[in-house]
Amino acid sequence: MDLNNYDDLLNKAYDKIPENVKQSSRFEIPKVEVRYEGKNTYITNFNKILNTLNRDKKHFIGIFLKTAGTMGEIRGNQLFLKSRYKSHVLDRLIREYAKEYVLCDICSKPDTNIVKEGKKEYLKCTACGARTEIKE
């Protein structure tokens, strides 16, 4: 066996592996699981959702409650909402948050960070390098 050739083959094979192969798992937000108590709603899989979004808990809750138009708080592992919400409504609000604050505008990947510059916030993408301003 020609060892030089073998190295060549390995290099060629390696070149064919896409750069982003490790991050190829699709971004999928878990559907909310809710529990109702009187007129209130608990999102019982809140931590799982937050892990997927990979954002600061306070940041997410602040915006989420504002768009839902209610008050709420963390109770144990759950998010308490003062009002009854259908799960598909909550799913939509979470998707909207992800679109604005998690997913890159350019390449749609979730590999982003929120960076602050002065009073402005930007979504910086580590996958494609894009930086887009976050509109309030």
Residues within the interface to Zn ion (CB under 5 A): 104, 106-107, 125, 127-128, 130
Distance CA 22, CA 136 (A): 32
Distances (CA, A) of 10 to 2, 5, 46, 97: 13, 9, 45, 43
Q: Shortest distance, CB of residue 55 to Zn ion, whole angstroms?
A: 16
Taking the least distance from each CB to Zn ion, the nearer of 65 and 128 is 128
Taking the least distance from each CB to Zn ion, the nearer of 43 and 104 is 104
Q: Shortest distance, CB of residue 129 to Zn ion, whole angstroms?
A: 7
Q: Shortest distance, CB of residue 109 to Zn ion, whole angstroms?
A: 5
Distance CA 41, CA 39 (A): 7
Taking the least distance from each CB to Zn ion, the nearer of 79 and 125 is 125
Q: Which of 98, 90, 74 is closest to 34 using CA atoms? A: 90
Taking the least distance from each CB to Zn ion, the nearer of 79 and 123 is 123
Backbone angles phi, psi at 23, to 5 degrees: -105, 20
Q: Shortest distance, CB of residue 19 to Zn ion, whole angstroms?
A: 13
With 0-12 CB in 10 A as exposed, 13-18 as middle and 19+ as buried, what is 81? buried
